[in-house]
Amino acid sequence: MTPTRLAERTALVTGGGRGIGRAISLRLAAEGALVAVHYGHDHQAAQDTVKQIEADGGRAFALRAELGVPGDAEAVWDGFDQGLAAVGAPAGVDIVVNNAGVTLPKPLADVTEEDYDRVFAVNTRAPFFILQRALPRLRDGGRIVNISSGAVRIGYPAIAAYTMTKGALDVLTPALALQLGPRGITVNTVAPGFTDTAINPTLADPQIRSALAAHSAFNRLGTPADIADVVAFLAGDDARWITGQWIDATGGVHLGL
């Protein structure tokens, strides 16, 4: 890891205080980026992430904006702009990571219209408009990374509505990549598989952990750091020739089926 690889760059990580988002925030900061750690509700987790970054010699600030409600994208960027001003950083952003999301572990028959609207509002509508409002702030040569799910290529009836939200976001990646290519901006998707985070309480059961790990070619669950490493690569100059791509970061889940 090169501490200055992302020096002089500013990043926004939505849902950046916990789980995969926390790992991404820590990794980008370790490589020199000033990281805006967005959170929706868990203030303490976001502050702890910022404190860890600062303890490691990095730079970060937290910003709160609930997603899935009217005005969410504006609130994200208002908080971002205010955070930059507070730390004396110039306006603009170089790296946008759309990581925040909610799950909906219900089969189709049990999903209500309210459930459906909520999961799409957070997982699809919010990142769309966050990116829309990012465009005038995004510097040439910037990076956009959308966090999807390996579930979009494998049938999981128990999370059909959730998977639909990620599939919709996946379609945006190549379209936006083509639009922003002339500015040297890359747009890619990273799709995690079964990852060991608190968002999945069933992982506390050793039998479930073992069963899910067995789906991977490596016979283990992914870690947030596994995903953060892929995002950090795409955020740097080494990935300048990669755009519009869907990067499978599942550890080879269901290969050969």
| pTM score | 0.96
pLDDT tens, 109-136? 999 999 999 999 999 999 999 999 999 9
Contact 130, 96 (CB under 8 A): yes
Residue 148 annotated in active site: yes
Which position among 39, 162, 210, 216 bears the catalytic label? 162
CATH number at residue 152: 3.40.50.720
Residue 208 falls inside a structural domain:
yes
Residue 80 falls inside a structural domain:
yes
Mean pLDDT of the chain: 95
Residue 5 falls inside a structural domain:
no
Which position among 25, 39, 106, 149 bears the catalytic label? 149
Output the pLDDT for position 257: 58
Residue 51 annotated in active site: no
Residue 255 falls inside a structural domain:
no
Residue 216 annotated in active site: no
Residue 136 falls inside a structural domain:
yes
Residue 149 annotated in active site: yes
pLDDT tens, 189-215? 999 998 988 777 677 788 888 988 888
Residue 252 falls inside a structural domain:
no
Which position among 106, 166, 210, 216 bears the catalytic label? 166
Output the pLDDT for position 161: 96
Output the pLDDT for position 2: 57
pLDDT tens, 76-86? 999 999 999 99
- Structural domain containing residue 145: 10-246
Residue 251 falls inside a structural domain:
no
pLDDT: is 10 or 200 the higher one? Answer: 10
Q: Beta partners for 4?
A: none
Per the structure, how many domains does the chain have? 1
Closest CA to 111 of 120, 98, 122, 100: 120
Residue 200 falls inside a structural domain:
yes
